[in-house]
Homo-oligomer: A and B are copies of this chain.
């Protein structure tokens, strides 16, 4: 269940469109899967910022009245997920500041690995902080830059940031778009007539009917103002290390990242999985909804028919009241329902996109058994997750990871009650997510392999 690993943010921006805030609302709505805890939009009419942020889904945070108040033809927006301790409105983005040159708004997807170091330096210099986010550092660095003018100061500041960032920064009249030197998070550009649009994923470009223009390159910045688009680099062109989990789970299946269809890749992951770990069975089923494409791929490759064996209750959400102790056993049933007619007496291949903690997998296997499944063969369309992510993904601790609690696949399978269990190999993953196998740094696979593309600044 990849929902146990969570992408933390999505960003969206529009420059030079009369309905900038409305488009940002729809763009964020299309990126809602990237963060459900808070949402915010800052708009500028060239002179003044207007902003609104709130806790909850995009549709809960904004009303028609609020959107109408966000006038202006440029806007940036943000959706966010955070661990509970820091789930404060103060930390909701875009962050908004006033500094010597005027207003500044920052929307950031990613995580700065040198945040603590830079924060200490800034505080020693007399800076005060109002949030506990790494993102606030960016604004301080711009304000303190030795370069005059945002157009010079902002690109210059990017050099000091280590880690992952897909970044939108706005002043009253300008917008800066930038991506970290490793390209750890996705960031795409689109156009609607003369307007420029930036979004974490292309599904948000489609939502607002923007024509795809191109992806932002690692180490690149774009500065957009009334004179048009200016581009530059704060780091040399280098190996890209886009998060491979974007393909496995985070991105919406209709997005295209680096020219590759996420849906097609997920199907291919299933096909490779079928080649690596074939099994004799009657049906292939998926853990809905995220694993369906991989299951279809596995079925196509293996020739075993794909069936709908698990149904998801579409109304399970944030405010759902979890069962009390007495009714604890209902926990999975309330979210997933096994279809007896499909499963009874069958040898079943269950496709899931990952195993993170393992607890949910165990419960799903049990559900299938209760529905009469004769054999259950669990196939995972990604390798074992063994290492923490330092680039903006929320995960359990290393000790809590399923793969670190068990020695080998056989024991793992037994622990979740499956007849067999098998994971996709790292090679299999890379084959699907990037053709260039010689240079594995083309994708970040640190959570599987432990090889991190950046310095980590661990204490």
Which A residues contact B (CB, under 8 angstroms)?
18-19, 22-23, 25-26, 29-30, 32-33, 57-60, 62-64, 67, 96-100, 104, 120, 123-130, 132, 139-140, 143-145, 203, 206-209, 252-254, 256, 261, 263-264, 289, 292-293, 296, 300, 305-308, 311, 313-321, 323-324, 326-327, 329-330, 333-334, 337-342
Q: Are B252 and A311 in contact, with the CB atoms below 8 A?
A: yes
Residue from B23, B59, B129 in contact with A315 in the complex, judged by beta carbons closer than 8 Å = B59
Contact B321 A254 (CB under 8 A): no
Q: How far is the CA of A323 from the CA of B313 in the complex (A)?
A: 28
Residues of B with C-beta under 8 A to A64: 321
* Identical chains bound together, number: 4
Distance between Cα atoms of A124 and B99 in the complex (Å): 8
Main secondary structure of the interface of A (DSSP, over half): mixed
Which chain B residues border A143 with CB–CB below 8 Å? 123, 126-128
Residue contact A254 to B339, C-beta cutoff 8 Å: yes
Expressed in whole angstroms, the minimum distance between the Cβ of A448 and any Cβ of chain B is 26
Tell me whether A337 and B206 are in contact in the complex, defined as CB-CB below 8 angstroms, given that A253-B308, A308-B296 are known contacts.
yes
A129-B33 in contact (CB<8A): no
- Chain B, residue nearest A120 (CB): B100
- Chain B contacts of A124 at CB under 8 A? 100
Q: Which residues of B contact A120 (CB under 8 A)?
A: 100
Chain B residues, CB < 8 A from A334 = 26, 29-30, 207
CB contacts (< 8 Å) of A321 on chain B: these are 25, 59, 62-64, 67
CA distance A15 to B340 in the complex (A): 26
Q: Check A128–B123 contact: CB distance below 8 A.
A: no
10 A-B pairs closest in CB distance = A126-B144, A100-B123, A261-B341, A97-B128, A32-B315, A254-B337, A98-B129, A254-B311, A59-B319, A99-B128
